[in-house]
Chains A and B, each alone.
Chain A
């Protein structure tokens, strides 16, 4: 309703001024990609400046990131391992954001998913000699259930009590960390260390390296089945959001809640359902991480901020599940390489700068900037 009047911004006593005009027609398809690309370039330049300010060498840092993440088949595989949890958490964020539901709690849902999957092994719900084809699905189911539960709480509170989901999901992140900490310290501790015992091999997601006997090229490659799970979920989610009736409801509520209500869409029900779906995806990510990489319940490698990176990736990919695949690999590279870079906060800072530049650049998609002569105007 409001897009048709030009936005005005006054500059005093200057013969030219900037005028913002809303774009009436869709920009060409390549344009959003170009803008995002430029935003990242600008972000890297800013980031480089800050690295230099902190006493580092920006160019060497960036070359190091590129080499340490794409330099060989081995590190590429490690990059993909890092990208897998990001892929699932950013899918989780994307579906919620599509409905303008700000689920900032993918981190907590991811942690609870990891907890659920671990509980199957550690309680133990299934004996350690259970065959893999039973073990893994049950673990995945437990991860999905706990993730969905962790999404249901803020969804329910928002739908029926009007509780701001940003804050409730964030608070649940902290609660999830304490919850897992309690279990690894008090219940499942291995010899007083802050971690559970290692899972039996049957509870591990298969890795490429497991098939090195059949395919020698796979030797030492850590990429695990979680990648495939993530890819399948991305494609499924794309179909659900873009091609299903439910997806249409989600998009309509996101774009125009009033119209959605007049169309008879049950918004409350959708808030709860989408939060649960979002939590389930993040929880599945937690299961994939704990069963594919960590192989035990331990806080530090699981609560490593994948849920927060997922937010940025989802936004960068403009909430498109298929683009998310690509972007999460880039961010996997950033995280992988970042472990060796000093100061250690650099990857986090670059993520922040990228997000800021992206949001600022979105402006270029919705408005065009015209330079006009002031005296020509009237």
Chain B
């Protein structure tokens, strides 16, 4: 038995014969999709095949020198840089989203200014952030090329991302939650922290993870603010040491042109980190849709 709304390939072909434009259009659609997927597979495959044989134990030695070209310091610096940037950006982003959603009155002029500035921030190219960081944090505040200057620059960069995702998450919390909380006698602050924030947490986390992805991938802004010294920051004033993250490490290796094999290996590590971050974000937002 054939179902009535299913067409056989012969029928489809006949319909296309009468309608050549449709045939061309659908061929174009197929072609571009195959192209997109092909490029993706080729890119991943190429980097994996060239990179995985180059991942050697000496790449993970504690100290960087020109013999082992270790990426370990860069890896650790990436983690430190991510933590500090999040420590700065996450509270500010979440708090400003709370202000925008829970406190600000509708039609407030200031709110629209905040929205516009946040959108401006998300549109600024990262190299301009690098220049700004160099002018402000590195020179004007006198921090020098340092972990702290890089982290502050990055936190301004990811601030709009965290703000927007948190805003969406807060808006998705049904109003009945808030009303219920007020009805039980809780104040505004208690309602926000005990009721609204916990139920918006998966959305906020997904935003933070997206922010981590951007930090890990950033290179242009960091070259001018955090420098390119391939060492793990040490000592009591480690915040003012120059560091390089994994992306900057890869930029330095490739620009020098001497360590192409190690560049491939670094690309693989970066890629794996991005895949992990993506999986984590997907997992958390899946949890969100279940709630």
Asked if A and B are interacting partners, one says: no
- A residues touching B (Cβ–Cβ < 8 Å)? none
- B residues touching A (Cβ–Cβ < 8 Å)? none
